[in-house]
Amino acid sequence: MALIPSQVLRVAILLSYFSILCHYKALDMPAHQTYGGSWKFLTFIDLVIQAVFFGLCVLIDVSSLLTKGADSREQERQLKKLIGLRDWMMAVLAFPVGAFVVFTFWTLYLYDRELVYPKLLDNFIPQWLNHGMHTTVLPFIIIEMRTTHHNYPRRSWGLAAVCCFGVGYVLWTCWVHQVTGVWVYPVLERIAPLARVAFFAAMTAVICVMYVLGEILNSYIWDQTHTAKVKGE
């Protein structure tokens, strides 16, 4: 038996995301006042995705509790729809985007933090908030994957959806630059146009790799769990 019920973990994670989002939005940063506001940054978009995803998980837990023992086909049908949406969000958004943000942020940060998170930001963003945005996202989503089985869509459909998200964000980033004349991330200012195209292509490929890794990890966790249960019988 788990030390902490998964339902309690989800509520705790959801509340932590609410806290992180509230503190982030309260920051008096110049970048928040320019075109696009916080929505320019993939980190903020990811935080919203994670909060919505865990909010959906909590809603499913509450709905399951309220409908337990009830003999209603309509309620069961609606619950299955919510579970399907939850599984789709895990596969296409929560895991690949969350893992992508953590991987790319810390890779660039360790190489040269000025490319992605200039030292100036330390005056605005406390360390705990930085880790809340760029570190704990991955362990939180892995905890959810470990405690609940998620059905992934066909890989071709899943990759197509992830690619659409990646290309959409690239286009949004280019549009912000078109309007303001400033790139959202310092790394984009330092490379030539052709290298920028290659960078965008590479980042889109990385987020697709994250999707496949999530699918493999989900299968591994639950295949192992199923095997352990069979052996224990």
Q: Does residue 12 form part of some domain?
A: yes
Residue 152: domain span: 6-232
Q: Does residue 97 form part of some domain?
A: yes
The number of beta carbons lying within 10 Å of the beta carbon of residue 51 is 18
**What Å distances lie between residue 213 and 1, 62, 162, 171, 200, CA to CA?**
28, 30, 13, 25, 20
Calpha distance 198→192 (Å, rounded): 10
What pLDDT was estimated at residue 230?
43
Calpha distance 58→43 (Å, rounded): 22
Q: Tell me, what amino acid is at 46?
A: D
Calpha distance 100→15 (Å, rounded): 22
Calpha distance 85→126 (Å, rounded): 34
Q: Does residue 49 form part of some domain?
A: yes
Q: Does residue 69 form part of some domain?
A: yes
Q: Are 89 and 59 in contact (CB under 8 A)?
A: no
Which tokens go with 154?
Answer: 């066909």
Long-range contacts of 175-179 (CB under 8 A, 24+ apart): 176/35, 176/36, 176/40, 179/35
Which tokens go with 90?
Answer: 């895990």
Q: Does residue 162 form part of some domain?
A: yes
- pLDDT per residue, tens digit, the chain (233 aa), is 355 788 899 999 999 999 999 999 888 888 888 899 999 999 999 999 999 999 999 999 998 887 776 667 777 888 899 999 999 999 999 999 999 999 999 999 999 999 889 898 888 899 999 999 999 999 999 999 999 999 999 999 999 999 999 999 999 999 999 999 999 999 999 999 999 999 999 999 999 999 999 999 999 998 865 454 544 44
What pLDDT was estimated at residue 65?
83
What pLDDT was estimated at residue 6?
86
Q: Does residue 161 form part of some domain?
A: yes
3-state secondary structure of 197: helix
Q: Please name the residues in contact with 125: beta carbons below 8 A apart, sequence gap of 6 or more.
A: 27, 29
- In the block, which residue shows the tokens 């932590």? 16
Q: Does residue 1 form part of some domain?
A: no
Longest alpha-carbon distance in the chain: 64
Calpha distance 137→17 (Å, rounded): 9
Q: Does residue 165 form part of some domain?
A: yes
**How many domains does the chain divide into?**
1
